[in-house]
Amino acid sequence: MSKKNIAILGSTGSIGTQALDVIRANPDYFSVEALTAGNNADLLIQQAIEFKPNVAVIGNEKLYDQVFSELDAHGIKVYAGESAITSVMEMDTIDLVLTALVGYCGLRPTIKAIETGKAIALANKETLVVAGELVTGLAEKKGVNILPVDSEHSAIFQCLVGEFHNPIEKIILTASGGPFRGKSKEDLANVTKAQALKHPNWDMGAKITIDSASLMNKGLEVIEAKWLFGLTNNQIEVVVHPQSIIHSMVQFEDGSIKAQMGLPDMKLPIQFAMTYPQRFKTDFSRFDFTKYPALTFEQPDSKTFRNLALAYDALAKAGNMPCVLNAANEVAVAEFLKDRIGFLEMSDLVEQCLAKIDFIKIPAYEDYVETDKETRIKALEFIK
């Protein structure tokens, strides 16, 4: 495989740091061309000094002087601001863009990267949740590959390698159930953010960990899967699998089911997206069947964890409703982490926004921008 120049959007987060672990272990195959971060200037500086990218971007413009003063002597160009993150995507020296930003902010730079013909390794599921039809249509027009990084979507993709000519009957996304699996609404009424942040299997950032606890993460993954794999809504099933060993499955028209398995470690799907279609040898921990005598499965409780049902509702209505769902949820999670609303109130807030924001059947990019803005304003008004 020829050496790839990688741009990592969100290099200081959980996915970004693990991607750099993969690059560190494979210096003959990858180099870092650009790194971006939101507010973690200290870690961005540390990463840039080690990996020597051409460009480093700090989203918080107030931190520009700090980053510049540390990196200028190393010959690294430094920029600041969200618009700079998008502009960097125009660099013709970038071969692959890993979008590891969290939330809606990943949409614009991902679109710019696709517009300029860059291959995308997508860890920012919100890009396809918010504007899946627009983004996948643009990728098809530009001949750009979108390679999934989420463990579930990577599993589906791996199961489909060599099977693209065979029709899918359905896909089965697995969910761990999070820290509150089996709990009732009464149990959840007074849970704390500290409890919600204790995921039983995965080590992730705060936002995605809360989404996992509320099952919103699985709802967002359902919407992402529709656009990644060209599925109808009723071809996407969710099953709770507490051990997180089977990362997802594909059922074909003959009834055969393929599953991708392994220990819960995000470095594997990150590396597969970066090396596809090849697989590189790793020293990652190996799964031992004898240590897992039982793999279990159960139906998700979408009455208690209403976010999954709300996501399916938004997907069914389509248009700008998934954008509303995402924006309302981002506000809800942020407010929950600030102890301003309760765990169950997050779903209430999302439902209120879905009911009150005007529906747009065929949104343009500007409609998504306005919908996101309007939803965030309305959500904060509901909280007050």
- The single-letter code of the amino acid at 121 is A
Claim to verify: residue 218 and residue 303 sit in the same structural domain = yes
- Among 317, 346, 372, the domain boundary falls at 317
Residue 62, number of CB atoms within 10 A of its CB: 10
CATH of the domain at 13: 3.40.50.720
Instruction: Check whether 202 has a pLDDT greater than 90.
Output: no
Its pTM stands at 0.94
Identify the pLDDT of residue 384. Answer: 78
Claim to verify: residue 161 and residue 75 sit in the same structural domain = no
Nearest in space to 111 (alpha carbons), one of 327, 365, 370, 318: 365
- Predicted confidence (pLDDT) per residue in 91-114, tens digit: 999 999 999 998 999 999 999 999
Q: Residue 7 in 3-state DSSP?
A: strand
Claim to verify: residue 282 and residue 303 sit in the same structural domain = yes
Is 349 within a domain?
A: no
* Mean pLDDT of the 276-303 span: 95
| Structural domain of 159 | 153-317
DSSP state of 54: S
Identify the pLDDT of residue 228. Answer: 97
Identify the pLDDT of residue 253. Answer: 96
Is 332 within a domain?
A: no
* Mean pLDDT of the 288-300 span: 95
Claim to verify: residue 135 and residue 248 sit in the same structural domain = no
- Among 282, 317, 352, the domain boundary falls at 317
Is 236 within a domain?
A: yes
- The single-letter code of the amino acid at 241 is H
Identify the pLDDT of residue 257. Answer: 98
Claim to verify: residue 86 and residue 66 sit in the same structural domain = yes
Is 124 within a domain?
A: yes
* Mean pLDDT of the 262-268 span: 95
Claim to verify: residue 128 and residue 238 sit in the same structural domain = no
- Judged on CB neighbours under 10 Å (0-12, 13-18, 19+), 66 is middle
Identify the pLDDT of residue 201. Answer: 78
SS (H, E, C) 258-296: EEEECCCCCHHHHHHHHHCCCCCCCCCCCCCHHHCCCCC
Percentage, residues of the chain above pLDDT 70: 100
- Predicted confidence (pLDDT) per residue in 118-132, tens digit: 999 999 999 999 999
Claim to verify: residue 54 and residue 79 sit in the same structural domain = yes
Is 159 within a domain?
A: yes
Is 378 within a domain?
A: no
Is 372 within a domain?
A: no
- Predicted confidence (pLDDT) per residue in 34-66, tens digit: 999 999 999 999 999 999 999 999 999 999 999
Cβ neighbors of 356 (< 8 A, separation 6 or more) are 378
Compute the residue count for the chain: 384
- Predicted confidence (pLDDT) per residue in 143-182, tens digit: 999 999 999 999 999 999 999 899 999 999 999 998 999 9
Claim to verify: residue 157 and residue 254 sit in the same structural domain = yes
Instruction: Check whether 320 has a pLDDT greater than 90.
Output: yes
- Among 114, 148, 182, the domain boundary falls at 148
Claim to verify: residue 202 and residue 99 sit in the same structural domain = no
Confidence band of 200 (pLDDT split at 50, 70, 90) = confident
Is 331 within a domain?
A: no
Claim to verify: residue 195 and residue 269 sit in the same structural domain = yes
Claim to verify: residue 236 and residue 304 sit in the same structural domain = yes
- Predicted confidence (pLDDT) per residue in 67-95, tens digit: 999 999 999 999 999 999 999 999 999 99
Cβ neighbors of 43 (< 8 A, separation 6 or more) are 12, 17, 37
Claim to verify: residue 202 and residue 220 sit in the same structural domain = yes
Q: How many domains are contained in the chain?
A: 2
